[in-house]
A and B are shown apart, each in its own frame.
Chain A
Amino acid sequence: MRPKIEKYYPLIPVYVAYLVMFLIGRTMPSMWQMVALLAFYCAIGQAFNIFLGMTGYVDFGYVAFMALGTYGMALGITAFYQTGLGIGIIFIGLLLGVVMATLLSLAVGSVALRLRGAYFAIATIGVNEGFRYFVEGAKIWGGSEGMIFSRELKEAFGAEMASQLSTLWADVAVFIIAVVAAFVTIYYMRGKIGYALTALREDEDAAKVMGINVTKYKIIAFITSAAFAGLIGAMAWALKLTYVFPPDVFKIHYTIECIIVVLLGGAGTLLGPVVGGLIYAFSKYWLAVVAPGFQLLIFAPIIIAIIMAFPEGIMGLVKRRAKGTGWEKYII
């Protein structure tokens, strides 16, 4: 059925962007680190957009899910590195990361998502800090010292493969996660979930009266978004850096970056997180070169100005412009 396929056309520009990035990185080894950084911001934008963009709720504790993904991978590797499972331990780590992130999101979501927007946002601020102090205070998972597992990785895979995992495959995985997250986003958008989320984002009370179980749909978006955060943490942080240090992973800074990427690109659009991720990561990279140490000082007002000028984000604006033109079916 042609119209069915057509619903997924907006994936084309997203995937073209990822493909171009990937090919540039692979053909020019000196570019790989930068491309990986770009992919990281696109991926977290894509993941966070599923919640922030589609529901309109802001989760200030989002980075906690990335942190749990990181710990999941760390625990998987340290617990299983001697079992001879080979690459299997990476999958165990991923699975642990996703499960831990998902469980936390379920716990937080089923309580906090009953609250309205601003109250929810406030409630989530505590989650990240709370979890960090819990890890440090209860001295679990290495407590405030964190976990280092480069030795375990080397033992399980050999020095060369371990280094490849960190410098190449972890980044490739981030690309794959971004690709899958984009697919899930449009799959949701085109299905009942997307309609329910649009309705509740616009008017929660009216949505309820139309028969929508708003809490259920908010939780679906929240968990999905958290699961992707877990995957990203497991790959982009744990496997890439081969250590976890609580102050580094439970860092609200990353939540803010997620929010910026999504709002800049256009909340609730498919291409927005890619555009936002690229612009944000590029400027961050570039500012670090031309004005090291002053990135944030320069960045903050620019970002605020852009978001004020384009409240629907860049893609929100483009989407509106594309309406009624031939581009319409490629852009959401």
Chain B
Amino acid sequence: MALLELENITKRFGGLVAVNDVSLQIEAGELIGIVGPNGSGKTTLYNVISGVYSPEEGRVIFQGKDITNLPPYRRAPLGIGRTFQIPRPFKSASVRENVAIGAMFGTLSGKVSVDESLEIADHYIELVGLQAYKDKAAGTLTPTEKKLMEIARALAMKPKLLLMDEAMAGMHPSDIDNMVKFIKKVGVEENIAIVSMVEHIMRAMVGFAQRIIVMHRGAKLVDAPTAEALSDPKVIDVYLGRPSGD
């Protein structure tokens, strides 16, 4: 049984079709790269999976359960964690409190106490290397630090599926390499399926992803093992701005 299954998902905003009839499957522990030009529907797809938007058509199935109509706060504890393209820290709260919130509400038992959550937070803060900023208000972090904090916060939720929306955009290339290694390690160790956008940094993508999904104008253009996907002429066309199919 696949961890996540999308069946013919379509999401529209008024007349605009942001996600167009997308079906895909993700297995437990898979590391997936997702790419596609601006506006191709990647974030919207994340929003449909995490429950921020409900799709006009199609079904979202997580661990065999239809969650299409489940509100986001009930999906998170099932094991769906995410970061945001534009970081969304709880600004006035400290880094430690932010991450603790993930541990407190994002796990299935719902029985993690405040003190336990803070301990779990310390662990993940250290993992992403933010221990020096632990007690700082999250709103005062730099964008890169905020992204790291969001990763820690999502990991503290003990997700089975982690959706990272441009978690590494704006980072220094050497940091990206480290980040990719780190994410990959955590994913493998904790058996988390990770979908990540490593936009524009193909080298990083190759090091990370076992499979690549290419989005184009809301549709899934390619979904193939990394090497195969990268040599696909359609992908090359998309990146050279000569979209195939029209």
Q: With an 8 A cutoff between CB atoms, is A139 at the interface?
A: no
Q: How far is the CB of A326 from chain B (nearest CB, A)?
A: 15
Number of interface residues of B (CB under 8 A): 29
Stretch at the interface among B3-11, B71-79, B123-131, B183-191: B71-79
Q: With an 8 A cutoff between CB atoms, is A196 at the interface?
A: yes
Residue on B nearest A214 in the bound complex, by CB: B73
Stretch at the interface among B14-22, B91-99, B204-212, B228-236: B91-99
A sample of 18 more A-B contacts (CB under 8 A), given A195-B97, A206-B90, A211-B105, is A190-B114, A191-B114, A192-B104, A192-B105, A192-B114, A195-B100, A195-B114, A202-B92, A203-B89, A206-B88, A208-B71, A209-B51, A209-B52, A210-B73, A211-B102, A211-B107, A212-B101, A213-B73
Q: Is the CB of B105 within 8 A of A212?
A: yes
Q: With an 8 A cutoff between CB atoms, is B82 at the interface?
A: yes
Residue on A nearest B98 in the bound complex, by CB: A199
Q: Which residues of B contact A212 (CB under 8 A)?
A: 73, 101, 105
Q: With an 8 A cutoff between CB atoms, is B220 at the interface?
A: no
Q: With an 8 A cutoff between CB atoms, is A205 at the interface?
A: yes
Q: Is the CB of A198 within 8 A of B73?
A: no
Given A202-B93, A208-B71, A195–B84 Cβ distance below 8 Å? no
Q: Which residues of B contact A202 (CB under 8 A)?
A: 89-93
Q: How far is the CB of B90 from chain A (nearest CB, A)?
A: 4
Q: How many A-B residue pairs have CB under 8 A?
A: 78
The CA of A214 and the CA of B97, in the complex, are separated in Å by: 17
The CA of A140 and the CA of B52, in the complex, are separated in Å by: 45
Q: Is the CB of B93 within 8 A of A199?
A: yes
Q: How far is the CB of B66 from chain A (nearest CB, A)?
A: 19
The CA of A192 and the CA of B111, in the complex, are separated in Å by: 10
Q: With an 8 A cutoff between CB atoms, is B106 at the interface?
A: yes
Q: Is the CB of B90 within 8 A of A203?
A: yes
The CA of A256 and the CA of B117, in the complex, are separated in Å by: 38
Q: How far is the CB of B91 from chain A (nearest CB, A)?
A: 5
Please pick, from A205, A210, A213, A214, the residue contacting B102 in the complex, using a CB distance under 8 A: A210
Interface string of A114-138 (1 = CB under 8 A from B): 0000000000000000000000000
Residues of B participating in the A interface, judged by any CB pair closer than 8 Å: 50-52, 71-74, 76-77, 82, 84, 88-93, 97, 100-102, 104-107, 114, 117, 153, 157
Q: Which label, helix, strand, loop or mixed, suits the secondary structure of the A interface?
A: helix
Residues of A participating in the B interface, judged by any CB pair closer than 8 Å: 190-192, 195-196, 198-199, 202-203, 205-214
Q: Which residues of B contact A203 (CB under 8 A)?
A: 88-91
The CA of A317 and the CA of B52, in the complex, are separated in Å by: 35
Q: Is the CB of A211 within 8 A of B93?
A: no
Q: Which residues of A contact B77 (CB under 8 A)?
A: 211
Please pick, from B50, B104, B117, the residue contacting A209 in the complex, using a CB distance under 8 A: B50
The CA of A210 and the CA of B152, in the complex, are separated in Å by: 12
Q: Is the CB of B82 within 8 A of A209?
A: yes
Q: Which residues of B contact A207 (CB under 8 A)?
A: 73, 90, 101
Q: Which residues of A contact B100 (CB under 8 A)?
A: 195
Please pick, from B51, B82, B84, B105, the residue contacting A196 in the complex, using a CB distance under 8 A: B105
Q: How far is the CB of A205 from chain B (nearest CB, A)?
A: 6
The CA of A191 and the CA of B90, in the complex, are separated in Å by: 17
Q: Is the CB of B105 within 8 A of A198?
A: no
Sampled A-B contacts (7; CB under 8 Å): A190-B114, A192-B114, A208-B73, A209-B73, A211-B76, A212-B73, A212-B105
Q: Is the CB of A198 within 8 A of B82?
A: no
Q: Is the CB of A199 within 8 A of B106?
A: no
Q: How far is the CB of A209 from chain B (nearest CB, A)?
A: 5
Ordered nearest first, which 8 A-B pairs have the shortest CB separation?
A: A211-B76, A211-B105, A202-B90, A206-B88, A211-B106, A208-B72, A208-B73, A213-B73
